[in-house]
Chain A
């Protein structure tokens, strides 16, 4: 099953110390999760994840590695404390799922709030057969606008960081030489 494969990839990510291999595995992980999204009927999410998670983010990571080198040194301190924290959090979360309704049941409360309205009325109100598109662009249009604002802010931030760094380096080189 796909989920088990994902768990194995996650574990390998943890162990491998060569960052180049880690980035490639992260791409594999992303692609696997895209497959999982397809199986769970979220086709739009699957292709976004395959394009953005497995494609763009791998390229970004490789770019960063090219600038920073790809060696990770051994962790200096004992892993016991983080392991304890993680186990505790995980146990709390599993305890939390005990009350959750089972996977895939149509009577789950999530499916009966606004989702019914979207499925029944969106074609009449908006006229697009793909419900995900009409919710994204119309019912939750402000959400999408906020998202583009975030992406814009991030792009500006990255540019300031990288261009500012290059300028500082040039100024330093000019001052010394």
Chain B
């Protein structure tokens, strides 16, 4: 019973492990670029979860063999694939905006470390670099 559960849920658990690695990078690291990498890891793990849901054992990719979907073939579920295609492209868009923001923050504050930025915000503004 336990072994059975392990075999049928192994995929989901590794996905959750990766998701948590991404989450941990996101909340525990101060460097903004490292945070974006963590966000990407998290995001890819969600993709893997969806694709795992769409997989059918012994299935083939959802490209119709005879053109009518009547051959005796099992296809994997195409719907998660479509959703994830959209999500990948949106993900790269958000990543690029995040990186552009990081570049601007680096220009304005001279650092990408969260602690130092908070320090600068609380203390004196560096001369001539304020605003953005």
Contacts and interface: CB of A to CB of B under 8 A. Distances in A.
Interface in A56-111: 56-57, 60-61, 63-65, 67-69, 72-73, 75-76, 79, 82-83, 85-87, 89-90, 93-94, 97-98, 100, 102-106, 108, 110-111
Contacts of A165: 103-104, 107, 132
A132 B62 contact: yes
Contacts of A45: 47, 51, 81, 84-85, 88
A115 B115 CA distance: 49
A13 B85 contact: no
Interface in B28-71: 28-31, 33-34, 36-37, 40-41, 44, 47-48, 51-57, 59-64, 67-69
Contact of A68 (B22, B27, B103): B103
Interface residues of B, number: 82
Given A60-B99, A68-B112, A129 B64 contact: yes
A131 B75 contact: yes
A81 B33 CA distance: 21
Given A4-B14, A68-B112, A165-B103, A90 B53 contact: no
Contacts of A64: 33, 99, 102-103
B29, B30, B93 — most chain A CB neighbours (10 Å): B93
A137 to B, nearest CB: 9
B27 A82 contact: yes
Nearest to B16: A93
Given A41-B55, A42-B51, A161-B101, A130 B85 contact: no
A79 B28 contact: yes
Contacts of A105: 56-57
A20 B81 CA distance: 31
Contacts of A13: 21, 25, 37, 41
A110 B54 contact: yes
B52 A103 contact: yes
B44 A93 contact: no
Contact of B106 (A52, A68, A131, A157): A68
A52 B101 CA distance: 20
Given A104-B56, A104-B57, A157-B100, A40 B25 contact: no
Interface of A: 3-4, 6-7, 10-11, 13-14, 19, 22-23, 26, 29-30, 33, 36-37, 40-45, 48-49, 52-53, 56-57, 60-61, 63-65, 67-69, 72-73, 75-76, 79, 82-83, 85-87, 89-90, 93-94, 97-98, 100, 102-106, 108, 110-111, 114-115, 118-124, 129-132, 135-136, 140, 143-144, 147, 150-151, 153-155, 157-158, 161-162, 164-165, 168-169, 172, 176
